Amino acid sequence: MQHDEVIWQVIRHNHCSFMTKITTGNFCRNLYNVTGICNRSSCPLANSRYATIRDENGVFYLYMKTIERAHMPKDLWERVKLPRNYEQALEVIDKHLMYWPKLLIHKIKQRLTKMTQIRIRSRKLAMKTREKITTFPRKEKKREARREEKAEKAAVLEKAIEKELLERLQKGVYQQGDIFNYPIEAYNKILDMEKLQAVDEEDEKEEEIEYVEGYDELEEEDDIEDFGAFSIDESQGNDTDDENAGSTEDEEADARDQRKAKRKITLASKKIEKDALDSKSNKTKVLIEVEHDDADERQRAVQ
């Protein structure tokens, strides 16, 4: 049979796993304790007739322990759900604890009042917007910075490898099937870049500027002038007689031949001057004097 006084003496003077001693007093960490204070009237283990209130997921329950169920630990506590209304909850407590000690009923009602106030305050705080204080992740930021530096170095190294490989491919160091370890996608990409670069060079070569001589154009212009003069002379000669027409044609032919001859002479003289300038720029002049004893004459030759 359970003896409450013996249990309390053992718990108080020997050892209790729920008791916590601090400078202000002794407290109890048992979930069924009404006040949370470690004393004879509030101990749930040393009282065979005991009651308390617990909060489970926002719902209040009245727990009651009687001596008749002490031999069945799984059925030791009887649970009654309390309504959310405070006054109705007090009525349920008075109904179930009608013949219980008045001091215990008073403690249970005080606990219900305190738990109801806590519920109201928690709801107000949940509805109110509050600033959330977060810690500064210094280690994570340092880790991310180190990873970024490593990624940048790896990217630069990869670009340098591609550049070196492209230069070697342009020089003809590698053949089509000599590269095995390098990724095939990057290799094909470099080959495509090389083809595009070759096409761009061909386009640039096609856009080169060439300079040509304009003698043919001058000749064509002279021929056009001759043709214009001929047309003018012809228009003027239509008014003259048939006898004068033959003489004018002969004169025009002679004048045209003379102009062509003069043009050929000027072109030849320009070409000679150009060759002379080229020869002067390429070769230096050498003056050679030759004396003859018999005639006392000197001959000079320029080379």
Distance CA 156, CA 163 (A): 11
Answer yes or no: do 1 and 69 share one domain.
no
| Domain-embedded: residue 187 | no
Burial of 54 (0-12, 13-18, 19+ CB in 10 A): middle
Distance CA 249, CA 257 (A): 12
**Residue from 91, 45, 95 nearest 70 by CA:** 45
Joined together, the tokens standing for residue 223 give 């021929």
User: Tens-digit pLDDT profile for the chain (303 aa)?
Assistant: 578 889 999 988 888 899 999 888 889 999 999 999 999 989 999 988 999 999 998 899 999 998 888 888 888 899 999 999 999 999 999 999 999 999 999 999 999 999 999 999 999 988 888 788 888 788 888 999 999 888 888 777 777 877 787 787 777 776 655 555 556 666 677 677 767 766 655 555 555 555 555 545 445 555 555 545 444 454 454 554 555 555 667 777 777 887 877 787 777 777 777 776 666 555 444 445 555 555 444 444 444
CA dist., res. 173 & res. 87, Å (int): 95
What's the pLDDT score for residue 92?
A: 93
Residues 27 and 85 in one domain: no
Tokens of 33: 């304790």
Q: Quick one: 39 and 55 in the same domain?
A: no
Domain membership flag for residue 213 = no
- Do 55 and 40 lie in one domain? The reply is no
Distance CA 91, CA 3 (A): 32
Dist. CA 302–CA 222, nearest whole Å: 39
Tokens of 18: 């729920």
Residues 62 and 121 in one domain: yes
Residue 217 placed within a domain = no
Q: Give the pLDDT of residue 230.
A: 47
Domain shared by 17 and 70, yes or no: no
Q: Which two tokens stand for residue 185?
A: 């996608």
Could you tell me if 43 and 14 lie in one domain? yes
Q: Is residue 260 part of a domain?
A: no
Which among 114, 149, 174 is the end of a domain?
Answer: 174
271 falls within a domain: no
**Helix residue ranges, H only, the chain:** 4-13, 86-96, 102-127, 138-171, 184-206, 215-237, 242-282
Domain assignment present for residue 123? The answer is yes
Residue 93: the pLDDT is: 94
Q: Domain tally for the chain?
A: 3
Contact 20/29 with Cβ under 8 angstroms?
A: yes
- Tokens, residue 99: 């013949």
DSSP-derived pairing of the beta strands 50-56 and 77-81:
unpaired
Q: Verify that 53 and 97 share a domain, yes or no.
A: yes
Domain membership of residue 299 (yes or no) is no
- Please check whether residue 194 lies inside any domain of the structure: no
- Do 53 and 118 share a domain, yes or no? yes
What residues are paired with 289 via a beta bridge? 300
Specify the pLDDT at position 256: 81
The DSSP secondary-structure symbol of 174 reads: S
Domain that holds residue 29: 1-47
> Is residue 110 within 8 Å of 117, Cβ to Cβ?
no
pLDDT at 90: 94
